[in-house]
Structure 1
């Protein structure tokens, strides 16, 4: 039987994220949240963070919210509200910053997929730290998926469904960011392992 992390401390932050993404999508102001390189360069710095909570259409939103739910089901017990909020903020900041620095040709972006790739990596690394073999499989599986995306390019079919180009570079940056966020969130446990 699946033992979902339904305790309030584990479910609150993912629910807030889901409702925030729905509210942002439903508002006529949603364009104020998306990553727009030109507007960011002219002082609209919030877009680096908020872009991840904006979506191109309802399919894009539903796919990303399904990802939030899946990651909560897999690793929800690893995050209380504070840890989840910090992970989301750092992953959004690092992914948005990475897009700005390393992909100047990417002028528009929205969606949670880069952040979600980072969250999957954080959870997989915690699984590995706990000695769970599935963590290694998940970690390797995510990197194989990302390698394939970098080789084959974005899925045209998925791009048509979400009415936007699939930003595979955000998946890559998000996953790399996940390694750094894992180290930040688990620095005390990592120090103990090093000193033993």
Structure 2
């Protein structure tokens, strides 16, 4: 039988993340919150952060909510509400700044997918520190997916579904961010292994 993390401390943070994104979609706040390079350069710097929580359309939101749910299934019990919030906020800022600095061809950007790549990578590192061999497999699998996207380009079918180009470079930025967030876990694990 599955032992899912239904305790409120594990369940509420991802539910709030989905709720906030849904509220932003319901009130159509993209014009105010999406990453828009021209507006960021004119001083609307909050967009670097808030762009992670708005979506191109309802299908885009649905895909990202599915990702939140999957990560909760895999790693929901690893975080406290404070750690979850810190990881989400740090990765949102990291991904937004990464898109701004390293992806000059991206003028409009929305969505949680980059951030979620970072969250799942952090979870895989936590898996490894707990002695779960599946952590190595999932870590490698995510990086193979990232490499495949970099060589083959964005998935056209998903692009049609979300009515936008899949920002594969943002996925790479998110995965790097998750790896960096995982370094303290790995260092602690290695110190304890000696």
TM-score by length of 2: 0.95
Q: How far off its partner does 1:45 sit?
A: 1.0
Q: How far off its partner does 1:33 sit?
A: 1.1
CA distance in 2, matches of 1:11, 1:103: 34
What's the counterpart of residue 34 of structure 2?
Answer: 34
Q: Which secondary structure state, in structure 2, belongs to the residue aligned with residue 137 of structure 1?
A: helix
1:72 maps to 2:53: no
Aligned residues: 194
Task: Kindly provide the CA deviation profile for residues 138-196 of structure 1, in whole angstroms up to 9, marking residues without a partner as x.
Answer: 00000000000000000111101100000000110000000112235x388358438x4
CA distance in 2, matches of 1:11, 1:32: 29
What's the counterpart of residue 189 of structure 1?
Answer: 188
1:183–1:190 CA contact under 8 A, matched in 2 = no
What's the counterpart of residue 121 of structure 1?
Answer: 121
Q: How far off its partner does 1:30 sit?
A: 2.7
What's the counterpart of residue 8 of structure 2?
Answer: 8
What's the counterpart of residue 89 of structure 1?
Answer: 89
CA distance in 2, matches of 1:7, 1:72: 12
What's the counterpart of residue 146 of structure 1?
Answer: 146
The 4+ residue runs of structure 1 with deviation greater than 3 A are: 190-194
CA distance in 1, matches of 2:189, 2:40: 36
Q: Which secondary structure state, in structure 2, belongs to the residue aligned with residue 131 of structure 1?
A: coil
Matches within 5 A, 1:22-61: 22-61=22-61
User: Residues 37 and 190 of structure 1: is their aligned pair in 2 closer, same or farther, counting only changes over 3 Å?
Assistant: farther
CA distance in 1, matches of 2:154, 2:86: 29
2:91–2:115 CA contact under 8 A, matched in 1 = yes
CA distance in 2, matches of 1:82, 1:187: 20
CA distance in 2, matches of 1:140, 1:48: 29
User: Residues 6 and 82 of structure 1: is their aligned pair in 2 closer, same or farther, counting only changes over 3 Å?
Assistant: same
CA distance in 1, matches of 2:159, 2:28: 23
Matches within 5 A, 1:157-172: 157-172=157-172
CA distance in 2, matches of 1:151, 1:96: 23
CA distance in 1, matches of 2:186, 2:82: 16
What's the counterpart of residue 131 of structure 2?
Answer: 131
Task: Kindly provide the CA deviation profile for residues 115-157 of structure 1, in whole angstroms up to 9, marking residues without a partner as x.
Answer: 0000110000110111111000000000000000000000111
In the alignment, structure 1 segments of 5+ residues that lack a partner are none
